Amino acid sequence: MPAHGQLTARQRSYEQRARTARALATLAITLLFLIAAPQARAQIRPLFETLELSGKAGLGLAFRASTSPYAGADQVLDSLPLYVFEGDRFYIHSSRAGIKFSTSRYAHAEAFISSRLEGFPYEETPASLAGMEQRNPGLDGGIAYRYDGPMGIAAIQVTNDISIESNGTELTLGYGYRWRNGPWAVSPYFTLAYRDGDLNDYYYGVRADEATPQRPEYTAGDGFNLGLGLYGQYSVTRNWKLLAGIGAEYLSSEIRDSPIVDKTWLMSGYLGAIYDFNDEPSTWEEKKPIRVKLFYGASTDCILNQLITFRCGSVSTVEDSRITGIHLGKPFMEKVNGWSLDFVGYAGVLYRDDGEFQKDSWQVDAYIKAFWYGFPWSDRLRTRIGFGAGLSYASRVPYVEERDQTAKGQNTSKLLSYLDPSIEINMGDLFRAKRMDETWLGVGVSHRSGAFGSSELFGNVDGGSNYIYASVETSF
């Protein structure tokens, strides 16, 4: 028997294979990131329901290749950030967030909002779409009922566009089954989607003022799309999981007959990796306190890497814009691996005052934030640096984003990625007041961006906005 603390040959072999797999996964994802480029939009929806996490949350990145339905459009190479959180009532799945209501051991109902990854390409517009008004991705609201048990995975959901893009409705039935074998999990699935005429006509119709001799006027009615696919998951280590999948979607005749469509089947493939925060068996305890963060800030023309390295900090912009916000958070991992590292999930709203330049607006943010607090002076003045990553949806595109993107001749998006770097000090230590031990005073950056134009989820936007803020956070 090996001595306590020593690894057996089998364990050493496993650890070596795990290190090799991690290195290969990192290399593959890096190479995919370098070659991925926004080209066209496609009607492909990832099924996050097939992903299995041991913990409550996960962060990762996936890449996909897929065909576009539009005639002459290039293949889509797209990156997709994976933000996954599964609470008892609330969940986030990258392009979807909702509230769950359990109805039995294996089933639950839910209400949700989700981004519709559908619309015209933004760059290199094919001849088939030249002169047509841009068809944009929408934001859907919906309800669903889902069963996940011994009989497989079955779901029914209905969605309706709430962003006033298409005003379309879709009813989807789906079924899948998950096979597990050691570190492997494989899930075949199929879906049947009824799409009404408003939805089909918005994305695939040709209006009278858009008609040409080569592109006659066309009104798309309602129809059924069929989806088939296979997704796989491999647990490299206890925390790291590799993801892969292929899918195909058969388009209804109402879509296929459109003069701007030249596909019958849409094909897609996925490759990615995710880190599963599963180190604690009870990572999200109801008894843990709610964190409340209040902040106020102003827009800046400094770019993010200048801000986080303290090389720029000016809030003097030509168009002054202010934000006031409240974010609620809850810890889901503390002292990770014994380090001075915590992870907290946040969600909240901010109010944006764009002055005379456009109407004021609201923004909803949801993100996971890591805090590190292992500074040498922490026994005298606790200090922590944080970095959050997640999603941000603005009811109106912020004026500074509209200004910058218009100047570059590029598109905007209401849904963008959200980053939140910050540095904070503990007010209990600062004022030697025990009652303020759970209160933190800090500065940070509220950052929205489109992931360098590489993500269809964010409208292939290359750009964003930064707001420097002051904040106070306490726990209840």
Number of folded domains that form the chain: 3
* Whether residue 90 is found in the same domain as residue 29: no
3-state SS track over 75-138: CEEEEEEEEEEECCCEEEECCEEEEEEECCCCEEEEEEEEEECCCCCCCCCCHHHCCCCCCCCE
Contact (CB, 8 A) for 117 and 140? no
Give the pLDDT mean for 44-67: 71
Reported as a single tens digit per residue, the pLDDT across 227-239 is 998 988 999 988 8
pTM of the entire predicted model: 0.76
Does residue 245 surpass a pLDDT of 50? yes
Q: pLDDT confidence of 41, banded at 50, 70, 90?
A: very low
DSSP string, 129-172: GTTSPPPPPEEEEEEEEEEEETTEEEEEEEEEE-SSSS--EEEE
Give the pLDDT mean for 253-276: 93
Burial of residue 305, with CB atoms counted within 10 A of its CB: 0-12 exposed, 13-18 middle, 19 or more buried: exposed
DSSP 8-state class, residue 354: -
Q: What is the pLDDT of residue 304?
A: 87
* Whether residue 18 is found in the same domain as residue 50: no
Q: Please state, in angstroms and rounded to a whole number, the distance separating the CA atoms of residues 82 and 94.
A: 5
Give the pLDDT mean for 33-41: 31
Q: What is the pLDDT of residue 20?
A: 46
286 inside domain: no
Q: What is the pLDDT of residue 48?
A: 47
Q: What is the pLDDT of residue 36?
A: 31
Reported as a single tens digit per residue, the pLDDT across 149-167 is 899 889 999 999 998 889 9
Q: pLDDT confidence of 365, banded at 50, 70, 90?
A: very high
* Whether residue 9 is found in the same domain as residue 142: no
194 inside domain: yes
Give the pLDDT mean for 71-78: 84
Does residue 54 surpass a pLDDT of 70? yes
Q: pLDDT confidence of 387, banded at 50, 70, 90?
A: very high
DSSP string, 300-320: E-S-HHHHHTTS------SS-
| 113-127, 133-147, 270-284, range with the lowest pLDDT | 270-284
Q: What is the pLDDT of residue 5?
A: 43
Q: What is the pLDDT of residue 45?
A: 44
Q: Which domain holds residue 371?
A: 291-475
Chain mean pLDDT for the chain: 84
* Whether residue 133 is found in the same domain as residue 220: yes
262 inside domain: yes
Contact (CB, 8 A) for 129 and 102? no
Q: What is the pLDDT of residue 27?
A: 38
* Whether residue 360 is found in the same domain as residue 445: yes
Q: What is the pLDDT of residue 452?
A: 67
285 inside domain: no
Three-state secondary-structure class, residue 204: helix
* Whether residue 139 is found in the same domain as residue 237: yes
171 inside domain: yes
Percent of the residues in the chain that have a pLDDT greater than 70, as a whole number: 85
* Whether residue 59 is found in the same domain as residue 206: yes
Does residue 172 surpass a pLDDT of 80? yes
Q: Who contacts 422 (Cβ-Cβ below 8 Å, separation ≥6)?
A: 385, 386, 387, 388, 442, 443, 444, 445, 471
The CATH code of the domain that includes 105 is 2.40.160.40
Does residue 14 surpass a pLDDT of 80? no
* Whether residue 250 is found in the same domain as residue 213: yes
* Whether residue 336 is found in the same domain as residue 418: yes
Does residue 43 surpass a pLDDT of 70? no
Q: Would you give the distance in Å from CA 340 to the centre of its chain?
A: 27
Q: Please state, in angstroms and rounded to a whole number, the distance separating the CA atoms of residues 237 and 259.
A: 49
Reported as a single tens digit per residue, the pLDDT across 299-354 is 998 988 888 888 887 776 656 789 999 999 988 778 887 899 998 989 899 999 98
399 inside domain: yes
